[in-house]
Every structure is written in C-alpha cells, then in structure tokens.
Structure 1
Amino acid sequence: MDINILKTFIEVYRTRHFGKAADNLFVTQSTVSARVRQLEEALGVQLFYRDRNNIQLTPPGQRFLKHAESILNTWNRARFDIDLSEDTKTRLIIGGEPSLWDLYLGEWLLKIRKNLPHIALAAEAVSTESMVRQLVDRTIDLGFTCEFPQIRNITISESFAFELVMISTKQGLGPDQAIQSGYVYVDWGTSFANQHAKFFAEAPAPDIRTGLGHLALGFIKKNGGSAYLPEPMIRDDLLKDQLYLVNDAPVIHHKSFVLFHEDSDRRDLIEEVISWNTRNESK
C-alpha cells in the first residue's frame, strides 16, 4: 500500500473537498480522485459519498478512518525512530489540540528543548479523538486536550487552568449585543459547550465556528466581531485597546488535561517534562 494513498484519504476526509485536498497535498485533483478510487477498489467498498461540495465518509469509510490514521501514525513514528542520530538516545512525540499549542504548549516545548537538548522532539496538532487512538496505539507519547476522556490504561491529570473571556472589537457592548452579529464560536470542548449553551440559550447561530483560537482572533481583528478566547491569548490586545472585554459577560473557567499511557517505557521522562509544564504555568 502506497502511504500517499492513505494521506490522500485522510486529507479528503479532513477538507471534505477533493480540490482543497489536492492543493494541500500539492498534487492535481485528478491524482486525488485516482488515489481514492484505487483505495476503494483495493478495499472493495465506497469510502465517500460524493455530493457536490459536501464530501462525507460512508459507514465503511468511517470504520476505515481509524485504521488509516493508525497506519500513517505508525509509519511516521517508524521514520522518526530511524532518523534519530547516534547522539540522540530518546525521542518524545507530543500531541495537542491546535489551540493549546498557541496558548501554552509552544513555550513549554521550548523549555524541553533547552533542558534536554539531546531529546528528539515531534509536536503534532491533533483532535482529542485521534489523540486517544494514538496514545492507545502508542504512536504518540503524551497528549494535551480540553476534554476528559476516560480510557483504560491511559493516565490523565489536570495540566493548565485558564479563563475564557468574551471579547469584542467594539467597546461598550453587552453579551446579548456581542453575540447577535459577528460572533465567532470557538470550540473549546464539551465542558465549554455546555456552559456556553446555559449562558446563551437563545443565541442565534454564530457567523463562524472553528476549533482554532488563533484563527478566531485573527479573523476578529481583521473583520470585527466577538468571541470567547483565553485571557492570556488576548492580554496584549486588551492593553493596547485593540480588543475590549464585553461588559458583564460571564467568565468561563476552563481546564486542559495531559494524557499518557500508564505502561509507557518513557514514563519517567514524561512525568519529568509534565512537571516542568505545571511549574512553569503556575508561576
């Protein structure tokens, strides 16, 4: 099996579009179509419903997705291991939800590099669902998420607590005004969604939904609008009067969690770098 075929399958699933998948993979759309057909013929099933501008996985495609991700992750980990230099004794593969890299994981990664220069590091932005599968398959060593999945043999603990505040590019707005127009809903996980629904039960559908805090921030600063974002992420913009707190908007207290396999052969290293993260963020 050509590994590029699996990459193509996953990219089509991710983008829901053959043309966008082709652009991201730097190939032609006909190449993407040919690879998907080849995979479907090899498996003997249809993997996608091909409705115009709405590509969706079929039930067999949904079942195959986790296997495709597992194969690709195992392949990437094997390449990572093989590429280790003679001076590098250990490698550490870290997965995190995309917005958590922007919030605090990036700085923490730099601290690992500074203190353990001979450790080979790989950092990946992944969904919680994919992260859990990779932890179970041991294709990543630890992961960070805003969810609290209870999975057998996976150790989970609180990593970092933060406040999500409602901000806007307009000064003096109340929450009912801010959420009516130009509102960007950022998916901070199930706990946030439940609290958000409680506070804004009658809110209209948001203009944009995204799982990326930095994307929401960039969009709002360029086009105007409002969103719930972590206070550390927008602190400088508040001080510069580029963004404003929405008056009387509820503050949503949120947590992130760190996960790793309890039988990991790198457990001592994992617990050491996790402790750095905790100490660093509590200062």
Structure 2
Amino acid sequence: MDLELLRTFLELDRNRHFGRTAEALNLTQAAVSSRLQALERQLGVRLFERGRSGMQLTPEGGRLRRHAERIIAAWRMARQDVGGAEAAGQLVIGGSHRLWDVLLQRWLNALRRREAGLALIAEAAAPEHLVRRLLDGTMDVAVMLEAPQIDSLKVDEIGHLELALVATDAALDPAVALDNRFIEVDWGLSFGLDFRRAFPDAAVGMTRVSHARMALELLHANGGSAYLPLSMVNRELDIGLLYRVGDAPVFRRSVFASYAVRTARRESILQSLALISGIDGAGSPGN
C-alpha cells in the first residue's frame, strides 16, 4: 500500500474539495484525482460519492479512514522510533483546536524546553478525532474541553478557562455589547447552553468563528465584542485595547486530559500534564 495514496485520501476527506486538497499537498488537481482512482482500484470500491451537497465518504470510505489514520500514525511513530535513536522516549500529544492558541501551544513550548531528549509528536484536531486516536493507541494523551465518557480512557480535570465578555468600546452594558458586532466563538455545547440561559433575548451573532484567535484578530481589525479567555486578553485589557463588559457573567470551562487506563507511558504523561498547572491562565481544577 502506497502511503502517499492514503495521505491524499485523508487530506481529501478533510477538505472535501479537489482544489484545496491539491493546494495543501502541492499537487495538481489531476494528480489528486489520479491518486484517488488508484486507491479505489486497489480496494475495488468507491470511496467518495459526488453529489449536489458536495463530496461525501461512502460507507467503505468511512471504514478506510479509520485504518488509514492508524497506518499513517503508526508509520510516523515507527519512523520516529527507528530514526530518533538519540531520543530518551516518545510522547504523542493532542489537543482540541479550541484550546491550542489559548493554552496548548504554551504547554508544548514548556514541554519541549523541559524534556530536551524526548521525541514529541503534537497534533491539533477535533475532539472526535482525538478520541479515536486515543482508542487506537496512536496517541498518548489528548487535552480537550469535553470529557469523553469511555471506560478504557482515564479522564483528569487539569485546569479551567475563564471566559469573559470583552469589547473594543468602553462602558458598554451587555445588551449593547451583544449587538450585530458580537462575535460568537464556538466554545462547545455546554457554553452555548449557559450563554442562552444568561442572555435569552440575545440575537444570533452575525459572525461565528471556531477559534479564539480568529475572534481576537477580528476585534482588533473591526471592533465589536466576544467571549474570550481572560488569560488571552489580559494584556489588551491592561493597555486599553479591550474593555470588560460590566455585569456580564464570566463562564468557566473545565479543561480535561484523557489517556488510556492501561498505558506504559503513564509516568511521562503525568509529568507532561503537570506543566499545564504552571501556565498562566490555565487555572487549577476545582478552584
């Protein structure tokens, strides 16, 4: 099996678009199509259906995705293990996109500084992908805002985020701050429910983004308001680029680490997670 065919398949599944996949892989669209056809010939099945709603995985494609992710991850780990003979060990860490800019990049920086001899593989992905990797044994630990309820996974609360309503204009009340310049950040279902309970009459925002960093850049460029982690905006608050919105509630989101109940790397995992408590803004569990 040609690994490049599997990589192309996975990238096409992520993008669901030949042009974007070709750009991501630095290929032509014809080359992407040729690789997909070659993989379909080898397997004897169609992997994608193409219709009015765009490209969708067939049931066979969905089953292949799980195997392809495992194969690529196993090859990456094998290459690191064999080629990284000088490394004292290896740790594969993951985190949700929502947390990467806010917290996990600083965790990775600290881990790299402290464990100079440790081979690290880091990945930001959607929670369902991270859980799948944990269950497959191709990832050692994942940090998310969601706590997976799976018996084979150990879940530890390792910190929390404090999400505050901030705005580019001073002295706003919540009703004004939640106007059509309000930027909705996707902090997950739990936050969405808490937000609607606190602001039942708030209109749906005209702008919705998946990452806190995107919202912060939009605020700097165009003004408005958004719920963002205090740890991310403390500097802007201190120098007057952003302002807290008076009387708006602060929402707390717990941060969880998940790893296999039975893992030979438990000590390395716990040592790596201990670094998070020393990161500004990570909070402490239960506080």
Q: TM-score, normalised by structure 1?
A: 0.88
One-letter code aligned to 1:244: Y
* 1:147 corresponding residue in structure 2: 146
Q: Residue 132 of structure 1 aligns with which residue? A: 131
Cα deviations by residue, 1:132-168 (Å, 9 ceiling, x for unpaired) = 1111112111110000111122111111112111222
- Report the aligned-residue RMSD: 2.4
Contact 2:147/2:258 (CA < 8 Å) preserved in 1? Answer: no
Is 1:114 the counterpart of 2:113 in the alignment?
A: yes
Report if the CA contact (8 A) 1:99-1:214 is conserved: no
Q: SS at the partner of 1:248?
A: coil
1:250 aligns with 2:256: no
Amino acid at match of 1:103: V
Name the CA shift for 1:44/1:265 in 2 (closer, same or farther; >3 Å).
Answer: same
The aligned counterpart of 1:57 is 57
Q: Distance in 1 between matches of 2:70 and 2:278?
A: 33
Structure 2 residue matching 1:139: 3-state secondary structure: coil
Deviation per CA, 1:47-88, whole angstroms, max 9, x where unpaired?
A: 334346843334443343323222222222222222213x32
Residue of structure 2 in register with 1:104 after alignment: 103
Q: 1:181 to 1:277 in 2, by over 3 A?
A: same
Matched residue of 1:258: which SS? strand
Amino acid at match of 1:62: G
What is the identity percentage for the equivalent residue pairs of Structure 1 and Structure 2?
A: 38
Match of 1:26 in 2: 26
Distance 1:175 1:21, change over 3 A: farther
Contact 2:130 2:142 in 1 (8 A): yes
Segments of structure 1 that go 5 or more residues without pairing to the other structure are none
Q: Distance in 2 between matches of 1:60 and 1:193?
A: 34
Aligned to 1:170: 169
* Counterpart Cα distance in 1 of 2:174 and 2:57: 38
Q: Do the aligned residues in 1 keep the contact of 2:161 with 2:283 (CA within 8 Å)?
A: no
SS at match of 1:171: coil
Change (3 A) 1:46 1:225: farther
Distance 1:182 1:130, change over 3 A: same
Q: How many residues align?
A: 282
Q: Which residue of 2 aligns with 1:189?
A: 188
Contact kept, 8 Å, 1:166 with 1:246, in 2: the verdict is yes
In the superposition, the TM-score normalised over structure 2's length comes to 0.87
Give the unaligned 5+ runs of structure 2.
none
Q: Secondary structure at the match of 1:81?
A: helix
| Partner-residue secondary structure (3-state), 1:257 | strand
- Map of 1:81 onto structure 2: 81
Using the TM superposition, name which of 128-137 and 68-77 deviates more.
68-77
Matched residue, 1:8: 8
Deviations 1:208-261 (A, max 9, x none): 433321122122322333222111011111122222223332211111101111
